Amino acid sequence: MEHKLVKIFITDDDQEDLELMEEAILKAEPSARLQKFTNGRTALEFLNSRVDDDLPCLIVLDYSMPVINGQKCYII
């Protein structure tokens, strides 16, 4: 059985929260590949530059951030 790579994006403006989420995710899935962002705009720009087969399995997005927050973050 083939093991699928788990890609997860985490977006939060609080560095401590990013580290806590990273620790929790890697404890549950040590082989996960994490990509961290500190605001919604950089996360969207990164997502829009990816091809379909390089998109994450999960996106964790803080609801309250500067620049673009979880409430206004969407892909056009």
* Tens digits of residue pLDDT in 1-55: 466 789 999 999 999 999 999 999 999 999 999 999 998 889 888 988 988 778 8
Nearest-angstrom CA–CA distance, 67 and 26: 28
- For the chain, what is the HEC assignment? CCCCCCEEEEECCCHHHHHHHHHHHHHHCCCCEEEEECCHHHHHHHHHCCCHHHCCCEEEECCCCCCCCCCCCCCC
In a domain, 33, yes or no: yes
Residue 63 pLDDT level (bands cut at 50, 70, 90): confident
Q: Give me the pLDDT at residue 15, please.
A: 94
In a domain, 35, yes or no: yes
Q: Give me the pLDDT at residue 74, please.
A: 53
Residue range(s) defining the domain that contains residue 29: 7-61
Task: Decide if pLDDT at 76 tops 80.
Answer: no
For the chain, the domain total comes to 1
Nearest-angstrom CA–CA distance, 28 and 57: 15
In a domain, 20, yes or no: yes
pTM, to two decimals: 0.78
